[in-house]
Amino acid sequence: MPHVHHSSVESLWVSAALSLVAIVYLHQWLRVAWLAPDGVKGWRACSFFVGLLLVWVGLGSPLSLLDHDLLTAHMVQHLLLMTLAPPLILLGAPLKLLPQPPVQKLLEPIVLLHPAVGWVAATATLILWHIPGVFMLGLRSEMWHGIEQASFLVTGFLFWWPVVEPSLKAAKWPEASILLYLFLATLPCDILSGFLVFCDRVVYPVYVSSAGRFGLTALEDQQCAGALMWTCVTVVYVITGAVFAARLLSPRWSPDLQSEPLVIAVTHRVWGFYTLG
């Protein structure tokens, strides 16, 4: 009961904070987005709000009350915060709606935007928080649980920044390297998810008693969580990699499009196939 009460209060704070971010973004978008020549268009705003919604699902919805009872719920929360929400929010180009001088000062430590930093940070976070001892620390302590969730979200942004490239401030690197970047990112996820799926024992005994209330054994819950992670990460990374591969291999590819973010490139590709058809 104390956990449920504390999580409910935390959910209210999360909901209030995300609502404030959404209101500020909407205000700025309505004020300047359509006035600037390269302003934030409607599809970007929709992407931003969907990303915020996914963060809320992970941190402020009833799902957040289940991560102490089901490893699968914990894995859904992890995937929302690290794999799905960050790229959608970055595609919303929120930095374009901020005054430029403060933004430039904020991005001065450019090393934080380097792909190597994003890959190492995301991989280390993934491995660290799934070590049984550290995992249990996050379940027993509300403070460490909050740190765990924040680290998933922050490293998710660092990882996706060089892929989405929401700003010219992002560290530039050969676009073909994105394929290697994404492939290497799947390896720790595949190892962890494969271990959870094929392990014949329960890695996190804390779920032994609670999983049965949902019609699953603890081992089935663990296998479901591993399969979910394996499938979601693979699908997201393969789709992203396929888009970049199509851009690189297409004879219609123009160097002038290299500065465009991922979704703009997809739009060009879809429109090109439509007009040819």
Domain-wise residue ranges, the chain: 2-276
Note the pLDDT tens digit of each residue in 1-49.
445 445 667 778 888 999 999 998 888 888 776 665 566 777 888 999 9
Burial of residue 147, with CB atoms counted within 10 A of its CB: 0-12 exposed, 13-18 middle, 19 or more buried: middle
Q: Which two tokens stand for residue 236?
A: 């997201």
pLDDT in tens, 189-206: 999 999 999 998 999 998
Residue-level pLDDT at 102:
59
- Model-level pTM greater than 0.75? yes
pLDDT tens digit sequence for 248-263 = 777 554 443 444 444 4
Query: What's the CA gap between 167 and 128, in Å, rounded?
Result: 30
241: left (phi over 0), alpha (psi -120 to 50) or beta: alpha
> Kind and range of the H or E element at 143?
helix 142-164
Residue with more model confidence, 65 or 83: 83
Measured CA distances, 166 to 44, 91, 92, 136, 277 (Å) = 11, 6, 8, 36, 31
In which element (H, E) is residue 239 found?
Answer: helix 218-249
Task: Find the mean pLDDT for residues 79-88.
Answer: 95
